Chains A and B, each alone.
Chain A
Amino acid sequence: ELKVEQNPLFLSMQEGKNYTIYCNYSTTSDRLYWYRQDPGKSLESLFVLLSNGAVKQEGRLMASLDTKARLSTLHITAAVHDLSATYFCAVQETSGSRLTFGEGTQLTVNP
């Protein structure tokens, strides 16, 4: 059974600081997704990573994938309050189409 673990689960940081969220998964996969969820809202797609070594950047967020280590990272640069949300990684097994989600990382950026 595929397991997806994120850490940290809770992250409080100051504006202007950098930090990294980690996503580990337990079986072979070449497709990993990052989503953002605001309170009471649905999931917004941030990044789709489709191969080993893939790196994508959008604004202050950058995601990468290392399929050999079964690890993805979401790096936050110079955080701003608007980034406060819960971030989920989700892994799609190579043999099927379901996404398996991590528990989420609740990020709070303080002024």
Chain B
Amino acid sequence: GAGVSQTPSNKVTEKGKYVELRCDPISGHTALYWYRQSLGQGPEFLIYFQGTGAADDSGLPNDRFFAVRPEGSVSTLKIQRTERGDSAVYLCASSDYNRGLGGELFFGEGSRLTVL
């Protein structure tokens, strides 16, 4: 597609439920990033994929959070046993990562998660 696509745009769930958020990156971009943004704050890094593998998952806050990218394109962020503190906008970005060419990140519109 023309840009990074994220679904759903809004998700309201109850505490303790399981949630999946999907990201479809820009076609051909090998790098994919997940960030979380709380109101009034800067985006906080969660995980970064290069191809199918997680190159850096050090930002995942705990083992309730997991992300996959099985075919090197679409990625799913999975949150188990959601807590009210998980409420935030989850941003996905992709990049044609190459240090010599800039490799800027292009962000999607985000998925707003509200845990009641």
- A90 to B35, alpha carbons, bound, how many Å? 13
Closest residue on chain B to residue A97 by CB atoms: B48
Sort chain A's interface into a size bin.
Answer: 20 to 34
Contact B42 A103 (CB under 8 A): yes
- Of B18-26, B72-80, B103-111, the stretch lying at the interface with chain A is B103-111
Contact B31 A33 (CB under 8 A): no
Sort chain B's interface into a size bin.
Answer: 20 to 34
Contact of B102 among A48, A101, A102 (CB under 8 A): A48
Q: Does A42 contact B (CB under 8 A)?
A: yes
Contact A97 B42 (CB under 8 A): no
Contact B110 A103 (CB under 8 A): no
Contact A103 B109 (CB under 8 A): no
Report A's interface with B, CB cutoff 8 A. 4, 31, 33, 35, 41-45, 48, 50, 88, 90, 96-104
Report B's interface with A, CB cutoff 8 A. 31, 33, 35, 40-45, 48, 50, 55-56, 59, 91, 93, 97, 99, 102-110
